Structure 1
Amino acid sequence: MSRREDSNRKRALRDILAYEDTITVDVEKTVQKVRERAKTLHAELDMYITNILNQIKQKFEQELNKIRYTVDKLKTNDHSPTRKGTSRSSSMDKSPRYRSTPRSSLDFSLHSRTSVSYVDVDEMHQYDKKEIHFVEGEANDKVFERLVGHYTFDTTTPITFNAVQRSIISDNKSEVKLVKTFKVGDKSETVHAIATVEEDQAWICCGWGSRNLSLYDRHGQKKKTASLDIQVNDACTFHDGKDDSVLVSSFREKSIKRLNTDSLRTSDFAYISLFPGGLAADRRSGLYVCFRDSYQRQAIFGSRRMVAKLSKHGEIVATMEKNEEQTNLFGYPFRIAVNTNGDICVSDYGDGTRGVTILTKDGRVKCWYRGPPTGIASDQPFLPHGIVCDEDGHILVSDWNNDCIHVLDKDGNFLLNLISKKDGLEGPNALGLDKRGYLWVGDSHGVVRIFKYSVYDG
């Protein structure tokens, strides 16, 4: 074993032992919180039951006082006629006696008196009787979860075992050919937006904070440049049912603009109170946008991190933010793509949520992809950036940390690494697919590479 491999194994051993200590402490803290919550709920339940019993006592006393009042009035105001030769007292003796409700079986101590106003018996048309029933409340897992709370047990940053580089045996094969490499910016600038148009062209933005979008063809020739009044975050082509245009998100200005590719003028498409990021259009004039409420990578309590669907007029028609347990689906949603089956694929590099989240078209979580399986060579934790879907339903996502492009099937299963560092990639960021199936890859050094590829599923 080489010195490097031995060092890596020792580091992995140290990390996993530290993880054992950390999760042990976390579990102990969580168990203690659950027990404290149980004590609090027991006290609150006892108080609630006491209040119910007191209310029942009060209602019973009010009704009992009303009964007694009415009986007394009926006895003292009896003006019924008597027969000739029969005394009033004898007539009353023959009338039914009032029998009070026995209370020996009721465990109530009615010491307080409640002030109740009664209508005179002579003015009463009827006496309204009452019934009392007890309706049992629900007792199921969902109710208990709302009362007690719930725990999460999520995967965070993985511990990598990269002492020995191994290749996975797979039936999945691919063919990749580099077609063109060209520079679109300085070596220190990142290509962060690629919006493919027509059959062999794409609008590209290079450099965070840039206000320029430039149109390049597949041969690397710049055709024209649009200077915008906003800083560009992402861009995508969009068809509103009549015309084609390019939509541009601006994280800083919290707006989405429509670029007329002929006049190179922009118009307002949508203004949102959150910061817009990745954009993707479906085939029905719908637009999907990644939104965040801050620049912070880690979501805190109350943070807004979501994907929203906008109509062709720029109105929000649906949001995807929380799961059934009302916890956030995303930590830092970055880029987004719509698959051929309507699934919504989101790259997320937030702390604790890093990976690819795949949602069905109605917003339910279908699956997560947290990185390649054991046995795939990777030097660093998976860090997803750009994402696109091809005509065969494959999901392609750039891994910035490991300088490669992962290919997933439509169910989020890893198939293979399509392109890697040996193909010249270094810090791949933006991805684009044109209509002829050419893959455009923008990196962190102002370079765009165009590949022709095929994936053969085993």
Structure 2
Amino acid sequence: MHATDPRHKTLVKIPVGTNMTSQMISPRGHARPNLRENEETMECSLCLKNFTTPKLLPCFHTFCLRCLQEYVERNAHNQKFACPLCAFECVIPPGGGVDELQTNFYIKAAQTKLKIAANSPCEICNDGSRAERCCIECEQNLCANCSRSHLKMKSSRDHHLVSLTEKKNAGEGQVTSKTFCEKHKGDELGFYCRKCAIPICLRCKVTVHEQHTTEDLSDVASEIRVLLTDMLKCAQGVLPKFHGHLNDITYYNDHLEKEREKLKEEIVEQTKRLHATVDELSRKMVADVEDEYCVEMARLSTRRNMISDRTTSFSTQLHSANQVVCYGSDADIAWNRDSLAEQLQKMASLITPADMIHLKMDFIPSSDVTSAGVGDLIGALKKIRDPTENLKIEEFSSFSVDNSFKAINSVCPVDDGTAWIALGWTADAHLFYRHGVKIKTHVVSKTIDFIARDSESLIMSSNEQKSVGKPGPGFNLDDFATFPGYNPRGIAVTPDGDVLICLAQSAAFQDYRPNHKNKVVRLNSAGKMINEYGADGKLYMYPLRVAVNVNGDICVTDCRKLSVIIVKRSGEFKTEYSGQNDKDGKANFEPRGIACDARGHIFVADGATHAIHMLDHTGKFMRHVVTEDQGLFGPYSVAVDREDYLWIGCRDADTKVFKLNWT
């Protein structure tokens, strides 16, 4: 549909051109804003392969047709979908779906030129003439005469011809095409009606628009290009800010590495001058440095990924915008002036990430080892950590797994935006999209208490069967490990593939007895025992759920002790969290599910106050991220996926999903 149809004002005719250099000239001779060559991309951001049938969205991002169809099929809602890169809301064209979106002829032209050998002959006249253009639709090389004839033929007059010659003339590389009047099919649009603000043909000018003020379309398009070029320059001013943030992260990463080694060396050198009795103090202090920097590096990595993704999105968006402004047809530039200007204003006013928060640590050696106590012989670590990054929570979805009143025992996110859900000690494993659509249900051979995931498959605990297994053919559980006399509860898989399992001698925490020796065990990927935590029965009373933090800490909810117990990988006790005191100074805390994110935060489901607690990596309370005021009731399980979505499984088979937005 051409731009003369008023129902399609938001469609953009794609401009095309040769590879962009540091200084480019528009077809009308205006200087174009600078873009670096490496900001161009010929790969789809979804499949990471060369574009196949590239389609352009209104936000200037381009994707393969097939990739876009699959993405829209999974994510569309109310005939709309969010751009996979910038989340701009796009309307699905009625009738033909995403296939009706505008083809990105710039990318098609670039792909065409890469396939054609230099000095190729014309494929029409066969007289040895050198081909100067290639028709994108027909995939034929044409000389100058055949090119003109091609655009005069009725069957091919609206085709797009890309230049094959390399010249320095202004406008070189623009695809040649014509735009025709919808009313007078054979008449090319050449005028612009000021009153109606639309491109028109000559017959429209002397009939319907006879009394209106009209101008030459090319003059009006030049005027609009000047306006849009200035707006494009403003939008381009945002990109260096993203690059600046990435440079800051790189510098800070190097600084962290150097400072970590410096602190460790200072600590070790000081301890060499002290008695052997302080060796244990030295070890703990080094471990604290490693712990703090491990968490900081994890936070740095997640921030780098976030800003890198935003930078890539904005860069490709800016590149396509430049092509639209500089190479769009006169009719489409005039027709879409307002929509293009609005989009460029949004790009120019895009808010970049806030400045990064830094960790500061210093080692202060003891000044007088002769009079210092044993605990002060080495010195002290001074740690200054600014308040954590700002976190905004928004509810993404809320849905019921079924119509029962059972609690959701476990939520196990998968990388594609889905999660496996186990409900109330049944044999059913449900797979849901995060927006609440059920994909499938598998009936497992044994009742399920908890679902986790290693690098290859799911791993499930069966309290009733006293075993942990992995689904095989027919989704029957093949035993991974059995525990006679113990009931396996929560499971966690460590980054190196080990499996942590909570073991209790009673099926329910209400049946706990003082002589029970409940524990957490660590198995390797083959199911062989590596370590036991709390085997003497003194560390835990009833370990229910377990999670592993980025620094290797093992975090366990004990629903009998009513606390979260954190130990290091070695088993050394680190801290215990027992909730927040109410106004009367009493703690009201019933920990159930637990999860850790990539930044070192710990999330705990509290059934007593109907809230999700967020702790830092040291076990210190930071805030409630979701509460009863947000409709949360009876949270029993919690998980955080790789895209920072917080999944909460509640009583009455309800699931809530929240987006964690870090700035």
Bin of the TM-score, shorter chain as denominator length: 0.5 to 0.7
Distance across 2 between alignment mates of 1:379 and 1:176:
28
Q: Alpha carbons of 1:287 and 1:378: their partners in 2 closer, same or farther (altered >3 Å)?
A: farther
- After superposition, the C-alpha distances for 1:88-140 in whole angstroms (9 at most, x for unaligned) are xxxxxxxxxxxxxxxxxxxxxxxxxxxxxxxxxxxxxxxxxxxxxxxxxxxxx
Distance across 2 between alignment mates of 1:199 and 1:436:
10
Alignment-derived partner of residue 216 in structure 2 = none
Code of the residue aligned with 1:227 in structure 2: it is: V
Asked whether the equivalents of residues 216 and 222 of structure 1 are also in contact (C-alpha less than 8 Å), the reply is: yes
> Is 1:306 aligned with 2:519?
yes
> Is 1:247 aligned with 2:247?
no
Query: Pairwise mapping of residues 255-266 of structure 1 onto structure 2 (< 5 A)?
Result: 255-260=467-472, 264-266=475-477
Distance across 1 between alignment mates of 2:577 and 2:413:
26
> Is 1:292 aligned with 2:504?
yes
Q: Which of 567, 576, 588 is equivalent to 1:368?
A: 576
TM superposition shift of 1:435: 1.5
> Is 1:405 aligned with 2:612?
yes
Query: Pairwise mapping of residues 393-432 of structure 1 onto structure 2 (< 5 A)?
Result: 393-432=600-639
Q: Alpha carbons of 1:378 and 1:392: their partners in 2 closer, same or farther (altered >3 Å)?
A: farther
Alignment-derived partner of residue 344 in structure 1 = 554
Alignment-derived partner of residue 422 in structure 2 = 205
Distance across 1 between alignment mates of 2:660 and 2:505:
37
Query: How many residues are aligned here?
Result: 275
Greater helix proportion: 2
> Is 1:182 aligned with 2:399?
yes
Code of the residue aligned with 1:275 in structure 2: it is: N
- After superposition, the C-alpha distances for 1:303-360 in whole angstroms (9 at most, x for unaligned) are 12100001111122110015xxx5511111111100000000000111xx21100010
SS in 1 for 2:629: helix
TM superposition shift of 1:174: 3.0
Distance across 2 between alignment mates of 1:333 and 1:455:
31
TM superposition shift of 1:299: 4.2
SS in 1 for 2:574: strand
Distance across 2 between alignment mates of 1:374 and 1:231:
38
Asked whether the equivalents of residues 298 and 332 of structure 1 are also in contact (C-alpha less than 8 Å), the reply is: no
Distance across 2 between alignment mates of 1:380 and 1:188:
28
SS in 1 for 2:526: coil
Asked whether the equivalents of residues 198 and 434 of structure 1 are also in contact (C-alpha less than 8 Å), the reply is: yes
SS in 2 for 1:372: coil
Q: Which of 263, 268, 286 is equivalent to 2:479?
A: 268
Code of the residue aligned with 2:392 in structure 1: it is: E
SS in 2 for 1:429: strand
TM superposition shift of 1:278: 0.3
Give ranges in structure 1 of 5+ residues lacking alignment: 1-169
SS in 2 for 1:226: strand
Asked whether the equivalents of residues 192 and 429 of structure 1 are also in contact (C-alpha less than 8 Å), the reply is: yes
How high is the TM-score relative to the length of structure 1?
0.57
Q: Alpha carbons of 1:369 and 1:238: their partners in 2 closer, same or farther (altered >3 Å)?
A: same
How high is the TM-score relative to the length of structure 2?
0.40
Code of the residue aligned with 2:475 in structure 1: it is: L
Distance across 1 between alignment mates of 2:537 and 2:478:
36
TM superposition shift of 1:379: 9.3
Asked whether the equivalents of residues 557 and 591 of structure 2 are also in contact (C-alpha less than 8 Å), the reply is: yes
- Which structure carries more relative contact order (alpha carbon 8 Å, separation 6+)? 1
Asked whether the equivalents of residues 190 and 443 of structure 1 are also in contact (C-alpha less than 8 Å), the reply is: yes
SS in 1 for 2:579: coil
Q: Which of 444, 449, 452 is equivalent to 2:651?
A: 444
Q: Which of 453, 461, 469 is equivalent to 1:237?
A: 453
Q: Alpha carbons of 1:378 and 1:202: their partners in 2 closer, same or farther (altered >3 Å)?
A: farther
Alignment-derived partner of residue 92 in structure 1 = none
Alignment-derived partner of residue 225 in structure 1 = 441
Distance across 2 between alignment mates of 1:268 and 1:298:
26
Q: Alpha carbons of 1:420 and 1:379: their partners in 2 closer, same or farther (altered >3 Å)?
A: farther
Q: Once superposed, which parts of structure 1, at least 4 consecutive aligned residues long, lie more than 2 Å away?
A: 170-174, 262-266, 295-302, 377-380
Asked whether the equivalents of residues 385 and 430 of structure 1 are also in contact (C-alpha less than 8 Å), the reply is: yes
Q: Alpha carbons of 1:455 and 1:418: their partners in 2 closer, same or farther (altered >3 Å)?
A: farther
Mean CA deviation greater in 218-227 or 392-401: 218-227
Asked whether the equivalents of residues 234 and 278 of structure 1 are also in contact (C-alpha less than 8 Å), the reply is: yes
Q: Alpha carbons of 1:378 and 1:403: their partners in 2 closer, same or farther (altered >3 Å)?
A: farther
TM superposition shift of 1:187: 4.6
Code of the residue aligned with 1:339 in structure 2: it is: N
Q: Which of 529, 537, 554 is equivalent to 1:316?
A: 529
CA RMSD for the aligned pairs? 2.2
